[in-house]
Structure 1
Amino acid sequence: MSKLLVIDDDIDMLDLVRATLEKDGHQVDTEVDATTIQPSKCQQYDLLLLDVMMPSENGFSLCSRIRSEVDCPILFLTAKAEDTALVQGFGLGADDYIKKPFSIAELRVRVNAHLRREVRQPTHTLSRSGVRFNMQEKMAIVGEDTIFFTKGEYAISEHLALHIGQVFTKEQLYEAVFGFDADGDSSAIVEHIKNIRAKLKAYNLNPIETVWGVGYKWRKDKIL
């Protein structure tokens, strides 16, 4: 059983999400006021669902405030599907977003896909182009430094590195990493890739290549 926290000022939405996810066997706690949420509270949960548009403190602000101390997946519930909003959310460390209005099936599939990915337990490491992947701890390391990837960023990097030289479309990457397909997936992958590149650029690394008109691949060589 996974433990989830849902934060939304809409009581009806909270009741719907709680009832839906409890049917899958999860323990679901809810809050209506983001300003009362502290990182220490969030650390006990396996996944957070944050509404973007809340009057007291919006989901973006809350994510920014807690992300450095919270290691679980963070998903946004949002009616804001514009690219600028998605860029902002992923830049703050979100792992995914669910656009309102959403179906019950989509909510269940997205949440459970992220939770399944959390419990995978590979037992080996992988080194590619200066990046070392600890696949047990789900950590990416360059030299002596651990790269602060979100769950989604790490999963995409690991998948590309495991299949070095193979080109994946945005849709294929999303399905491979999260286990399902839905509207908006391409935007999620694009923003995750941007963030991965920005974090590796600090170490003069650029292992992910864009294959124009197709998708992305991890370079076979060590071009910096």
Structure 2
Amino acid sequence: MGEKVSNILVIDDEEDICKLIKNALSNQKYIIETRNNAIDISVDELKKFDLILMDVMMPKIDGFTLCKRIREEIDCPIIFITAKILEEDIIEGFSIGGDDYIKKPFSILELRARVAAHLRRENREHHNTLSTNGLRFDLQAKELFFNDIKISLTKGEYNICELLAKHKGQVFSLEQIFVKTYGYDKNSDNSAIREHIKNIRAKINLYIDNPIETVWGVGYKWI
């Protein structure tokens, strides 16, 4: 069986950058498509790509705006190409769902290495991960990550996060969360869930705005 050929999209308003990246990666068993702007790019079109390289500072629609717009439906790695190297810019890129960034000017070797690393991980983990809200769930290891930083959760805390994230937008009552997390026979009460949620929020808030929303009088949901 032949080696999988990966489809990569490059979005940069500088045509020379697009040509440079295409030339650098075309010899690496990748199929490269380039766009000079982010206007009128449909989600359906983007779904065919295994990785997206996009500039941050583009006219009309910048890279951060496009990432926010597509991230809920596009789960392939997104690497930002940017001259913006302030820490707050980097953190923003990760928080909206970016997987990595490459600073301009960049070396061809660095570009190739980062692209290859993300595609290897994607091919290895695609069926065992869930990415949402800038977080990555390792469904096999039962671990939660921000970028490559593991968020230290107890087993119960992780199970609550996975349950809510897998059913994004659905409201669960305290009893439903308890039953799905611990089962019917566990000797405890629903109030323990409130404490777990409090702890989860404190831990996740270190990296992103917490995605667990309280629906007063009903329960909680992942937004």
Q: Which runs of 5+ in 2 are unaligned?
A: 162-195, 207-223
Structure 2: distance between partners of 1:194 and 1:57 = 32
1:14 alignment partner AA: C
Residue 2 of structure 1, aligned match among 3, 6, 10: 6
Deviation, structure 1 residue 56: 2.2
Aligned to 2:56: 52
Task: Tell me which stretches of 4 or more aligned residues in structure 1 moved more than 3 Å.
Answer: 157-162, 189-197, 199-208
Partner SS for 1:72:
coil
Q: What is the TM-score when the length of structure 2 is the normalising length?
A: 0.61
1:26 alignment partner AA: Y
Deviation, structure 1 residue 35: 1.4
Aligned residue runs from structure 1 range 1-224, under 5 A: 1-120=5-124, 136-139=127-130, 148=132, 150=134, 153-154=136-137, 161=143, 193=149, 200=161, 204-205=199-200
Please identify the structure whose Cα radius of gyration is greater. 2
Deviation, structure 1 residue 15: 0.1
Contact 2:137 2:143 in 1 (8 A): no
Aligned-residue RMSD, C-alpha: 3.5
Q: What is the TM-score when the length of structure 1 is the normalising length?
A: 0.61
Contact 2:9 2:34 in 1 (8 A): yes
2:80 alignment partner AA: F
Structure 2: distance between partners of 1:196 and 1:71 = 24
Contact 1:87 1:191 in 2 (8 A): no
* Identity, % of aligned positions: 41
Structure 2: distance between partners of 1:194 and 1:35 = 35
- Across the two proteins, how many residue pairs are aligned to each other? 160
Partner SS for 1:77:
strand
Q: Which runs of 5+ in 1 are unaligned?
A: 122-134, 140-146, 163-188, 211-224
1:54 alignment partner AA: M
Structure 1: distance between partners of 2:79 and 2:91 = 14
Partner SS for 1:65:
helix
Question: Do the aligned partners of residues 196 and 100 (structure 1) sit closer, same or farther apart at CA in structure 2, a change above 3 Å counting?
Answer: farther
Partner SS for 1:35:
coil
Structure 2: distance between partners of 1:33 and 1:119 = 28
Q: Which has the higher contact order (CA 8 A, sep 6+)?
A: 1
